[in-house]
Amino acid sequence: MKVAVVGATGLVGGEMLKVLTERNFPVSELIPVASERSAGKQVAFQGKQYTVVTPDVAISMKPDVAIFSAGGGTSLEWAPRFADAGITVIDNSSAWRMDPTKKLIVPEINADALTKDDKIIANPNCSTIQMVVALNPLHKKYGIKRIVVSTYQSVTGTGKKAVDQLMNERKGEQGEMAYKYKIDLNLIPQIDVFGDNGYTKEEMKMIKETNKIMRDDSIRVTATTVRVPVMGGHSESVNVAFEKEFDLAELRGILENAPGIIVKDDIANFQYPMPLDAHGRDEVFVGRLRRDESQEKTLNMWIVADNLRKGAATNAVQIAEYLKANGLLG
């Protein structure tokens, strides 16, 4: 298959190329795409060098699928043009996620909603993906009423500029700032801009996307998102109130048997998920499973995943795999 990766020179784009290789996606021709500024650069993929082209050139090359990871502005401008040319777009930005005419897909949960007519498919926010992967099998069994989530998000979620800022601060060097404040030895309780209600866009994404992906607007969600000086993955403390009572051993078994989840929950041996466990992995790690003793039918849990992998690149490639396997491309 001809595969275009739009934003191929960025952090997530680079991860896309890695994931396509690791998962043996049948790429007959890679089309790396970036802005005019990056056009002409070389990108290595599976032992070959490919020349980066602009989006209009990429469209003329007629890829079967285009995976976008180049920001919302690029997606709003170019995704419809690719789609109009008959190319299926899987978009990793926030541009199309809440568009009622576009599907927001986590393959383990709602890939069955996809059809051949879906030419622009939205990849959810990284922090939302890992949470819903862990919560969906529990929702099926016990019915979720309310979610309270606090996130501890890696600087890799901001991009290379933020990684450079953290590394410069660790070395005591001056450099370009991705954040308003120092990030090393610090936490920043703001991800994206604030809205009129006092929540950030990142927090509102988690709230709205959870309802859309899980196809249930009755689930109440509230979120606080925090940037931490960590590389390798996002972590989340999640408090879940259910409609039905649960047995903790049964609940653990449901998670252990669910696709894409690894339960790491053995406090006697100090085993619990950390970003170091998730780094470079596609699975969502779950641990610290325990009852909320302050109210009935409520669970506390800790969820960790590599935000560049399952939170972005891997989920997008899994969507492409589903489309191909079910004859939904072309």
pLDDT reported for residue 44: 95
pLDDT reported for residue 166: 98
- Burial class of 227 by CB neighbour count within 10 A (0 to 12, 13 to 18, 19+): buried
Domains of the chain, residue spans:
2-124+312-325, 127-307
DSSP string covering 180-233, please? Answer: SS--TT--BS--S-B-TTS-BHHHHHHHHHHHHHTT-TT-EEEEEEEE-S--S-
Q: What is the pTM of this model?
A: 0.96
Averaged over successive runs of 10 residues, the pLDDT of the chain (330 residues) comes to 95 93 96 93 95 97 96 96 98 96 98 97 98 98 98 95 97 97 98 98 98 98 98 97 98 98 98 97 98 98 97 97 94
Catalytic residue, chosen from 102, 212, 234, 309, is: 234
How would you classify residue 122: left for phi > 0, otherwise alpha for psi between -120 and 50, otherwise beta? beta
Instruction: State yes or no: is 126 an active-site residue.
Output: yes
Name the strands in the sheet holding 234-242, side by side, starting at the edge strand that comes first in the sequence. 220-227, 144-153, 234-242, 298-305, 284-291, 261-263
Q: Do domains 2-124+312-325 and 127-307 have the same CATH topology?
A: no
Catalytic residue, chosen from 104, 126, 258, 319, is: 126
Q: Which residue has the tokens 């009935």?
A: 296
The SS3 assignment for 173 reads coil
How would you classify residue 39: left for phi > 0, otherwise alpha for psi between -120 and 50, otherwise beta? beta
pLDDT reported for residue 330: 73
Domain spanning 127-307, CATH architecture? 2-Layer Sandwich (3.30)
| CATH 3.40.1410.10, applies to 2-124+312-325 | no
pLDDT reported for residue 243: 98
Beta carbons of 192 and 202 less than 8 angstroms apart: yes
Beta carbons of 311 and 127 less than 8 angstroms apart: yes
Go through the chain and tell me how many residues it has: 330
